[in-house]
Amino acid sequence: MNKKIASVLCMVSLGMTVAVGAEPISFEQASNVTGLAGIEVGANYDYAYTSFQKTGFSEVKQTMSDIPVFVRVGLPILEAKVTIPYGTAKNTVDDKINNPEDKNYSGMGDVGLMVKTGLSLPVVSLGAGLDMTFPTGDPKKLLGEGLNAMPFVAAGIDAMVLKINANVGFKYRGEYSVEGARFDAATNQVVVDQGIKLNPGDATHYAVGLEIPAGDVLSLHAELVGENYGAATYDGTLLDNSGGRTMSLVPGIRLHAGPLKAKFAYSIPLEKKEDRPVYAPTADWRILAGLSLQFSL
């Protein structure tokens, strides 16, 4: 009986050692890599709120929640992570004259796959990978986009009392269909088209994060995440002033107790609302949380 208990404890301990390392709280494209046969399963929670209003139009309030379930596996040389998200979206048109109009959607989002490899040196770690999402969600319900692919490189420094992570990548954002209004010359009327092609514009991604251990199981985090977006095209027409830059400050905490990991963070946008790219995944504020279990085979 004691041998069985010892073997279980050894397995849990191994699961901890193969996956622990300097790890950001708000971006996955880091240099830490799960060791061979290490497995992590869990779910994250992302709640975002934003409001916007154009001159002459009613204010629109938008809330979005995303619950991605993921599995991370350590393979020879690299790590693979598969993410299957379930999301909800709600649009409220705050019309002061007519009754407010709500649109509620729910369903599967875009499935994700990330592979990365890393090299661990004394104090410094290096990594590179490819982060992709596939168009399994419905863009018309605000639950998906086109095919996205971002190759990236990353680096980390572990100075014991302070850990630093940074990365840079280029995000290709594929074309997808949206619902929109267009002018029909044949009927001389504005009609609603369910299949207007939108190219949201590619982006350059960059991030840096600080992690300060606060005891054996708790760490404090502060991260900056930014992206520069190119101009979008709508129905084949280039949209002027549709590109731009986003930057968010993300303070948070992580709890790591044995094989369990938990995180909580709050994302604060630093750019002006009027300067945000038109088709960028931004919000007035976001709450990030997650819970996962690590083990090894």
CATH code of the domain in which 115 resides: 2.40.160.40
- Cα gap 92→196, rounded to integer Å: 23
The predicted structure's pLDDT at residue 2 = 46
Q: How many domains does the chain have?
A: 1
The predicted structure's pLDDT at residue 95 = 64
CB 177 within 8 A of CB 160: no
The predicted structure's pLDDT at residue 99 = 59
The predicted structure's pLDDT at residue 256 = 92
Q: How many CB atoms lie within 10 A of CB 105?
A: 16
CB 158 within 8 A of CB 125: yes
The predicted structure's pLDDT at residue 14 = 37
Handedness of CA 62, 90, 48, 240 (dihedral sign): negative
pLDDT tens-digit readout, 241-285:
889 999 999 999 999 999 999 999 999 999 988 888 988 888 999
The predicted structure's pLDDT at residue 59 = 80
Identify the domain containing residue 37 by its residue range.
2-296
* Coil, strand or helix at 118: strand
- Cα gap 86→70, rounded to integer Å: 11
- Cα gap 98→93, rounded to integer Å: 10
Structure tokens at 23: 């790890």
CA-wise closest residue to 38 among 3, 13, 6, 65 = 13
The predicted structure's pLDDT at residue 74 = 94
Which residues in the chain come in under a pLDDT of 50? Answer: 1-21
